[in-house]
Amino acid sequence: MSKAGNTDYDRQAAGGRVTLVGAGPGAPDLLTLRGQKALMEADVVIYDDLANAELLGWCRPDATRIYVGKRAGQHCMPQAQIGELIVREALLNQHVVRLKGGDPLVFGRGGEEMAALAEAGIPYAVVPGVTAAVAAGAAAGIPLTLRGTASAVVFVTGHECAGKNDGAVDWSALARTGATLCIYMGVRRLPEIARALSAGGLAGSTPVAVVANATLPDQSVHLATLATAEPLSAVLAGQPALIIVGEVVRWPQLARAAIGQQLLAGA
């Protein structure tokens, strides 16, 4: 290696760096091995609500732990300040782990954090995590794709569904795709979303599953249809929940029926 190369390497090795780590959906053993390694090595861990606090048990005893949690409607620390905090800690030559629920780059503001790091010239890496949609499918036994039934999956936020014409999410267009819709942050606006999807042409009989606290001890799975889903909004208020809309939601029943038939056939 050239001398210049060495110098560059040393400068980088001595400097701070950041790892954005996906904590997974809740169950602590759904953290990846790579994420665990980063946590074990970190000087500083910056975390929020959706990351299971048990994961901090992997940190070195002398690691600094900083909570920047925010629940819907009660922001503890604005995103810009979180970005500044990460940069500030890294500039102190620390290895900073930014631990985020699910995957850091799926509705996780990871994009903003990477931009802040790039602007400050701080090296960073991303460790993916099990995102809520995937965890909810697994928890409820619902295949998000199914040959002949659903060839596409959409990850969409329900948070921006303020009104019919708000423009952020085109629910009518989504209704026409035939894709399985995995709606994040949608419980509060479930009635509006159901109406918008129906207006876009999805039948009222389209099955809906709402999986709350997926992979956690208080996990619950609620089955409905587009026409009957509305009350779940109040029932599940304040809980992290993932809404799955599409024919694949029938799969648990279909599978049970098929198994029943096999049993009958075998009897």
Q: By the criterion CB under 6 A, which residues form the site for ligand SAH?
A: 25-26, 50, 100-103, 106-108, 131-132, 136, 184-185, 211-216, 240-242
How far are the Cα atoms of 152, 161, 179, 217, 232 from residue 169, in angstroms, in the given order? 17, 7, 15, 32, 21
Among 10, 29, 48, 166, the active-site one is: 48
> Quick one: CA torsion of 186, 187, 189, 190, rounded to 10 degrees?
100
Alpha-carbon span 37 to 33, nearest angstrom: 6
Nearest to ligand SAH of 77, 254 (CB atom)? 77
Instruction: Report whether 136 contacts 109 (CB < 8 A).
Output: no
How far are the Cα atoms of 144, 225, 251 from residue 194, in angstroms, in the given order? 19, 9, 20
Shortest reach from residue 72's CB to ligand SAH, in Å: 7
Residue 170 annotated among the catalytic residues of the structure: no
Shortest reach from residue 230's CB to ligand SAH, in Å: 17
Shortest reach from residue 239's CB to ligand SAH, in Å: 8
Nearest to ligand SAH of 16, 210 (CB atom)? 210
Nearest to ligand SAH of 16, 25 (CB atom)? 25
Nearest to ligand SAH of 238, 260 (CB atom)? 238
Among 70, 103, 166, 170, the active-site one is: 70
H or E segment to which residue 229 belongs:
none
Shortest reach from residue 85's CB to ligand SAH, in Å: 19
Q: Which two tokens stand for residue 261?
A: 């038939």
Nearest to ligand SAH of 199, 237 (CB atom)? 237
Shortest reach from residue 243's CB to ligand SAH, in Å: 8
H or E segment to which residue 181 belongs:
strand 180-184
Residue 70 annotated among the catalytic residues of the structure: yes
Give the bridge partners for 96, in sequence order.
Answer: 18, 44
Alpha-carbon span 193 to 198, nearest angstrom: 8
Query: Which positions are annotated as active-site residues?
Result: 48, 70
